[in-house]
Chain A
Amino acid sequence: MLQGLEASDMAFPPAPPPATLPLRAGMSLRNWVMVAAGGAVAAGILIMIGLLLNNARTRLDDNRPEQDLVEKNPHPDKEKSKLPDTLAGRLLAKNFDLARALTAEARLESLASLALLLHDEGRSLAPVAGPKELNAIADLYGKVVEGGIVPRARDLPVDRRRALGPIRNRLAEAGKEAEKLARAAPPEQAEPWLRIAAVARAGQQQLNALITEATP
């Protein structure tokens, strides 16, 4: 019966020939290397074009102050209240937040982010700044932490001191980073970083004590 089936039209058609790699099957190793290298060159050219376009755009933006906004105007009014993307502009925006803040926690949060702004500015400027600028930043950082964050944290009622945890952690991180920067800096620049580290550590300890007091 099987023989009969094989002989009839109902028999299975012969299996198709195995698929082969189209066109490229015969490429030599040398050709593959050439294609890979060509691809790398093309990628390099694309990266270059991207970098050049990005640089051109950045320069264009530098000439258009309207583009350097730290934030869009949150006002319902149509009036312009744009702020340039500078340390002064960012501080001013924080001060608007402080004046609008409704709770002591919100004010503390604004002060903590203000301290972070100063720390970041110091870190950004460190490669080119002299001791004068870094000392100025250390003084300002001290003012915000010792004259703002710590006293306002003390004013916080005991049952609301849980909010101090994230701020204490940020001060701890800032202290660690300042110590690291002090180690990497030349001697005349290390001193302001050591001061920032000391202020951050002292602030962290004081906030920690306040949190511990509140912990039953």
Chain B
Amino acid sequence: MRTKLLLIVALFAALGSFLRGQEPAARIQDRLRQFQHDLALVEKLVNQSVQLSLAPAPIQCAESFQNVAETLVREIRQSAGNDDEKRALQMGDYLQAVLSRGVADNLIGARRAAAGNPAKEPEWRSTGERTLQLIQPLAAGMAPPGSAEERILEAAGRTIRPGREALVNIIAGKRR
């Protein structure tokens, strides 16, 4: 009887450690796939970090994030074309953050820095307008109607709506 109980305990312990070992392995594989997919973006972000460490002016920071936004829009369109909704939406999350915390925040800084200097105003305004043009392909009507591509682009467009609105407000002279 005692032996049987000990065997059961050993079995549970072995099964527990097996399950513990399995989960991280699957997660590491997922992480590797993600790394492989994101490598170009990761390289871009590392280059950007070196640039940003030079303490550029807010307008240059906004332009740097606009550049990242351009890459992300391309990725979203490509993923939508490949019917890869999960990736398109993940890129949409990145883009939303870039528009809001990257471009918009720095445009506010640039607008503040340009206050009282009308010659500087077109600089930040045109960066904002260029960014809005950049994300235009995510609006409805840029893919065959009723297609999966259109549905995915619309979903990504919804994800970035707050960032887009923030840019529109900044250009209109509002706070955000």
Residues A107 and B55 in contact in the complex (CB < 8 Å), given A95-B102, A143-B46: yes
A104 beta carbon closer than 8 Å to chain B: yes
Q: Are B12 and A48 in contact, CB atoms less than 8 angstroms apart?
A: yes
Is the beta-carbon distance between A80 and B96 smaller than 8 angstroms? yes
Given A51-B19, A92-B98, A125-B31, residue A86 in contact with residue B38 (CB < 8 A): yes
Which of A5-13, A37-45, A171-179, A206-214 binds B? A37-45
The CA-CA distance from A90 to B102 in the complex, in Å, is 14
Main secondary structure of the interface of A (DSSP, over half): helix
Contacts known (A33-B2, A48-B15); A98 close to B49, Cβ less than 8 A:
yes
Tier of interface size on chain B: 35 or more
Which chain B residues numbered 87 to 112 have a C-beta less than 8 Å away from chain A? 89-90, 93-94, 96-98, 100-102, 105-106
* A15-23, A126-134, A186-194: which lies at the interface: A126-134
Number of residues of chain A lying within 8 A (CB) of chain B? 59
Interface contact A87-B49, CB-CB below 8 Å: no
The reply to whether A88 and B38 form a contact with Cβ atoms under 8 Å apart is: yes
With known contacts A55-B23, A65-B90, A84-B93, A96–B166 Cβ distance under 8 A: no
> Hey, which chain B residues are within 8 Å of A124, CB to CB?
28, 31
Which residues of chain B have a CB within 8 Å of any CB of chain A?
Answer: 1-2, 5-6, 8-9, 12-13, 15-16, 19-20, 23, 25, 27-32, 34-36, 38-39, 41-43, 45-50, 52-53, 55, 61, 64-65, 68, 86, 89-90, 93-94, 96-98, 100-102, 105-106, 159, 162-163, 165-166, 176
